[in-house]
Structure 1
Amino acid sequence: MLDKIIYNTVLSQTLSPCGKYLVAGNIYGQLAVFDLDNIFNPVIELLTSDYNKPKHIHTLESGSQVCSLVSTKKFLVVGTVNQILGWDWKSLGHSKLGKPAWNITIRPRSLFENCDINSLWCSEDEEKIYAGCGDNKIYVHNLEDGRLVNSYEGHSDFVHCVHGNGKQIISSGEDGLVLLWDTRTKKSHNKIEPHRNSKVQRHDIGKWVGAAALGNDWIICGGGPRLSLWHLRSLDVVTVFDLPDNGIHVAFFHDDCVFAGGVSKHLYQLSYSGDIRVELPVSATTVYSAVLRTNPRKVLSIAGSSPEIDLCTTFNYRDQVLHFR
């Protein structure tokens, strides 16, 4: 592992509800638990050289890569290969990670296939978990008992991203589709195909859409096609962002900004009109994950194809570099 960890890739991150812990998952099936209280407010007399390393590193029993992470008030939810696992947050502070509190198995279409849980999103009432998967489907499970509530079918290739806002869900995939779903009708009612738009398409990178997010009136999406802002009701492209990237894996709204990253050495903060407000240098050559929280602590954490994770409290520059090794 010492040799491999140099090439560590962090695919996912999440923050605990209390704001004390940052959890990052990598391609080796490891969960790194960082104590943010100790990192941001160290006791100088007790400070050691490894203060910015994980408090604990837990390895999943299956050894499968950690594809996605999401937090609820009670659980750390882990998406891996063929499984969604839930641990009580209280157990994450222990040196040894016990058995998960619950386990949902996603059945692949055949015994010879694996299904990566590429994206997880939890409903606002925290009753349901939405999983965008490698078998082209989105599965909806009840968090209370793990029961399968529904599955959405509409993508013809694996799902990269799933996100929601109120009663609407958005998904994006390797097939180049961005689909809008109504949770009340459980059907896709609209779609965007960015790779077919001449302003957005980038044939040399591909048609896949790695990230999509819903705002109140807007959609942000990008991947092989350029990062672009679309009007939610008309589904017209409003802004095409001119970024020097070779693919987008992360895109989300915060306040009046768009945050985006991917195959680039920067995480960008952009105005809706396309202006670059902040061009934040990052440690990873490709950004696969960025999580932002303003309460109870203001923090932005950026990770990807590097054992280093960048931590920001002002969102304008790096305060700390954490080491997942």
Structure 2
Amino acid sequence: MLDKMLYNTILSQTYSPCGKYLVAGNIYGQLAVFDLVNIFNPVVEQITSDFNKPKHIHLLESESQICSLVTTDKFLIAGTVNEISGWDWKAILSSKLTKPSWTIKIQPQSLIEKCDINCLWYKKDEGKLYAGCGDNKIYAYNLEDGSLVSTYEGHSDFVHCLHSNGQQLISAGEDGLVLLWDLRVKKSYNKIEPHTNSKIARPDIGKWVGAAALGDDWIVCGGGPRLSLWHLRSLDAVTVFDIPDHGIHVSFFQDDCVFAGGAAKHLYQLSYSGDVRVELPVSATTVYSAVYRTSPHKVLAIAGSSPEIDICTSFNYRDQVLHFR
């Protein structure tokens, strides 16, 4: 029997609140828990051949693909198909996974039978969880009681990503739209359509936008259209990044740079003006997740269409490769 884990695709990652553990979710409904302390500081005499493999692999009861992960101080939250579930971190770190502490069901009002929860964003100051879904909507839930607080409608196809900065939220979707929201209002107040810009459009790849992020003064987004930097107030495209990708799924701001990856051989670190500062080789043929943390370790974890997760403490090279198998 062919080992399906050789064809593993990791869609999502997050760190534990203490930063000592990395959790990754795959297309088979599995959660892998990696002990970063032992990985970064191994006892030489006790190193075994599987020290870079998961401490635990948990299989969700639904076995639905784990599209998105996010953490709070108390819970690991997973978005799968038609539902969002939260586990106490103690349960995640134990050898056997119990039933979730709570579950939120999402029931699309359209003819869609299955609704992927493609992205999750937690706003700690509000205690709210935002979910971008396959029914083209964004839902906001109060995590104290699981109640639905708001529904944001504006996309005409499924939502790929969410990112927030203050009271602003940005979303991007398969419809090629990048929408800006004031979280106090249920309608978007502005939008970008990268595929309508001739310098950015790539009709052969598509108009979908797979990643978007907000900075204080900037927006970075990409997907089928090229990765591009936009001025937040004027919504003018300032920089079109010249990198050899076939679709962007990850983009974020860090240390006055843009990080981006997707269907390419590298994760890129770029200046706002478009200079390539670092081309970081990656194991995955397509990157679907890259998560960064500064404490207790400075670490970037990169994952995608591969059973391997690349770990970097310096953005110039891979320090280690973890194995989700």
| Residue aligning to 2:231 | 231
Structure 1 ranges of 4+ moved more than 6 A: none
- Deviation of residue 111 (structure 1)? 7.2
Structure 1 residue aligned with 2:147: 147
Residue of structure 1 in register with 2:207 after alignment: 207
Q: Which moved more, 1:122-131 or 1:199-208?
A: 122-131
Deviations 1:162-193 (A, max 9, x none): 11000000000000000000011222000000
Match of 2:263 in 1: 263
Contact 2:121–2:163 (8 Å) recurs in 1:
yes
After TM superposition, give the deviation of residue 219 of structure 1 in Å.
0.3
- 2: distance between equivalents of 1:118 and 1:249? 12
In structure 1, the residue matched to 2:99 is 99
Are 1:131 and 2:126 matched, yes or no?
no
Query: What aligned pairs does 1:181-220 form with structure 2 within 5 A after superposition?
Result: 181-220=181-220
Aligned 1:8-157 pairs, distance under 5 A: 8-109=8-109, 113-125=113-125, 127-157=127-157
Contact conserved, 2:110 with 2:135, CA < 8 A, in 1? no
Q: Which has the larger displacement, 206-215 or 85-94?
A: 85-94
Structure 1 length-normalised TM:
0.98
Q: What corresponds to 2:4 in structure 1?
A: 4
Separation in structure 1 between the aligned mates of residue 77 and residue 297 of structure 2, nearest angstrom: 21
Match of 1:170 in 2: 170
The share of aligned pairs that are identical, in percent, is: 79
Q: Structure 1, residues 82-122: CA drift from partner, whole Å, max 9, x if none?
A: 01111111211111011111111111235761000000011
The alignment partner of 2:18 has SS state of coil
Which letter maps to 1:187? K
Equivalent pair of 1:67/1:119 in contact (CA under 8 Å): yes
User: Which residue does 1:316 correspond to in 2?
Assistant: 316
Equivalent residue pairs, number: 325
Distance 2:187 2:305 in 1: 35
Q: Kindly tell me: are residues 223 and 5 of structure 1, through their superposed partners in 2, closer, same or farther at Cα, counting changes over 3 Å? A: same
Q: Where in structure 1 are there 5+ consecutive unaligned residues?
A: none
**Secondary structure of residue in 1 paired with 2:37:** helix
Alignment check: 8 A CA contact 2:112 2:135 kept: no
- Contact 1:72–1:126 (CA under 8 A) maintained in structure 2: no
Change (3 A) 1:126 1:39: farther
TM-score under structure 2 normalisation?
0.98
Q: Which whole-Å CA distance do the structure 1 matches of 2:163 and 2:144 have between them?
A: 20
* Residues 35 and 55 in structure 2, CA contact (< 8 A), matched pair in contact too: yes
Whole-angstrom distance in 1 between the partners of 2:71 and 2:2: 29
Q: 122-131 or 50-59, which moves further after superposition?
A: 122-131
Verify the 8 A CA contact 1:303 1:310 in the aligned structure 2.
yes
Please, which runs of 5 or more residues in structure 2 have no aligned partner?
Answer: none
Instruction: Give the Cα separation in 2 of the matches to 1:221 and 1:112.
Output: 27
